[in-house]
Amino acid sequence: MIQNASEECQTIDSEGAPPYKSSDMFRSPGPVALQIGPLSIRWYGILMALAMAIGLWLAYRDARRRGLDPESLLKASELGLLGALVGARLYYVLFNLDYYIQFPRKIIAVWEGGLAIHGGIIGGILVGGGYAYLRKLPVREYLDIAAPSIVLGQAIGRWGNYFNEEAFGTPTALPWKLYISPSHRPLLYAQDDFFHPAFLYESIWDLAVFFVLVYVFRDRFKQAKGALFLTYLGLYSVGRFLTEGLRTDPLMFGPIRVAQVVSLLGVAAAVIAVPLMLRRSRA
């Protein structure tokens, strides 16, 4: 049975007043950045747009640095982004199918959250990579260029979870604990106020992976096309496996946390394929 773990731990309805001073807490100020009449501009959308813009800018610069046509790369990247958005949403909807069958109009409400990065990677490769392959462009080198942009975009985009009060972990009393309002807490933890900021852990990990890719591996792997992308996949997957174990809202397939299984596959792919690529490039 496919389900989201949050279906087992439904959230409570009453918002309630927090028993602490807002100024003393690490807590979300709310999902809406700006309200103009009936129009709500949400932080989630702002951060997604920012992540995509920065990612495209970095990819453009790297293409020029490598002596590739940046315009061709941008075309493939723009199509890849569209594929990634659709793939990320469809992947999330698939693993929450019971909910979206009841509320089909919510399927397009991406501004409320609900984008799965693994679905985004699949969709981006299929659409952007497919376009590059058909145009006989260097697909594997494009993926290497995209890798730092993707993981930096993830580091930025994770803060959308903060504003939406989602992707948090189990209760904690650590100094960096995150206050979650009652309406967003799973029923299992209805009496708990503070939780692990799992989104923050992953954001920090993603930022670290970005710097490792750019300053440690990018030039070293230049001749092994595709190795940098697989290194990104492996490193990201290590962090995702760990943070996923904390989360109270994982995508589930029966008793299995889907993201953890996919993360193990990502690590395995990197561990097996990257050394082979490096050996072939040096032969």
73-113 tens-digit pLDDT: 999 999 999 999 999 999 999 999 999 999 999 999 887 77
**Where are any strands of DSSP class E within 23-130?**
32-36, 39-42
Query: H-helix or E-strand containing 270?
Result: helix 258-282
pLDDT in tens, 41-71: 999 999 999 999 999 999 999 999 999 999 9
Based on DSSP, count helices (H) and strands (E) in the chain, helices before strands: 10, 7
pTM of the model: 0.89
- Compute the distance between CA of residue 130 and CA of residue 72 in angstroms, rounded to an integer: 13
